[in-house]
Amino acid sequence: MAITKVHARQIFDSRGNPTVEVEVTTSKGVFRADVPSGASTGIHEALELRDGDKNAYVGKGVLTAVKNVNTVLGPELIKANINVQDQTAVDEFLIKLDGTPNKSKYGANAILGVSMAVLKAGAADKGVPLYRHIAELSGHGDKKFVMPVPAFNVINGGSHAGNKLAMQEFMILPTGASSFAEAMKIGSEVYHTLKSVIKKKYGQDATNVGDEGGFAPNIQDNAEGLELLKEAIAKAGYTDKVKIGMDVAASEFYKDGKYDLDFKNPESDASQHLTGEQLAALYKDFTTKYPIVSIEDPFDQDDWSAWTHVTGATDIQIVGDDLTVTNPVRIQTAIEKKSCNALLLKVNQIGTITESIR
């Protein structure tokens, strides 16, 4: 089925920042996609095109990307008359049209909006749910689907909050739940128990939340955040059913070859900055004292040796996000160097559905 219309507009995301929305029209209907955007991003990600006009949306407008969809990408795609079920052909056409390694000509946010909207149109054309269409595009359409363990981001730090915490996310993982429904129940109860624990210990204003809904108490010691989680999990009665995960986002506080856990303080003491080995030792201490089963982005996105060391020295999940940026080349390098044993897949990091699947 061919595309008859492509239209983009500027909308606002959950942080109040502009982003791109794209509508693709076929004879089956109108299919809409909103482009996601991260607060902390890796330097190796595809280019998210922003207008840069400081007098409008503090430079974060996306009207140029919207224009690129409406005047170039959309019209050219319609002219190409590609079947919406052929996601690879659509995405490769868009990539070739842009012609740059990181989609900087038209913007990864412009290209991704079209790619995602076409994905939804393709699923509708097939008459299957979106998840089934994605599985078939990935070559896994015949496999049994399993619901994942949800991860609840309950304490925010780093670039997601205005407190002193350097590490970005502290999560609870209900690994002992017997169903997704039970996992959601456990997550909800621990979250609200954590709120009462924080309120009792630090006062009402400490229960303010960060960008992603987690509490942002004004503490600096990352171990203190882990203690809060441990206490809340126990008080909720789920010590045997809940583990802890962390997203450190260490690239955010990597300075001159060292890690500054007081990076939000412009007067931070350089003598207290940690080497990769010292930070690895801190993680080892954390995993000894707390039920941590997953650490995301424990080191800077280009500190490969530190990644390889910690992955080889632990049996927990070490997750690449800023390290791998959903980029097949960097993922292959991570595999060869044995730098991590898991990764996040974010379509906005690479810019098309096809490249994300690869």
For residue 8, the tally of other CB atoms under 10 A from its CB is 28
Q: Which is catalytic among the residues 212, 230, 231, 258?
A: 212
Helices assigned H by DSSP within the chain: 63-68, 74-80, 87-98, 108-126, 130-137, 180-202, 222-235, 276-289, 304-312, 328-337, 347-350, 353-357
b vs e for 89-128, b when ≥16 Cβ sit within 10 Å of the residue's Cβ?
ebbebbbebbeeeebeebbbbbbbbbbbbbbbbbbbbeee
Say if residues 8 and 62 touch (Cβ distance below 8 Å). no
Helix (H), strand (E) counts: the chain: 12, 11
Active site residue 346: yes
According to DSSP, residue 234 is labeled H
Phi and psi dihedrals of 346, rounded to 5?
Answer: -130, 115
Residue type at 124?
A: A
Active site residue 136: no
* Cα–Cα dist 27/45, whole Å: 35
Over the Cα atoms of the chain, what is R_g?
A: 22
Q: Which is catalytic among the residues 103, 120, 243, 346?
A: 346
The residues assigned a catalytic role are 212, 346
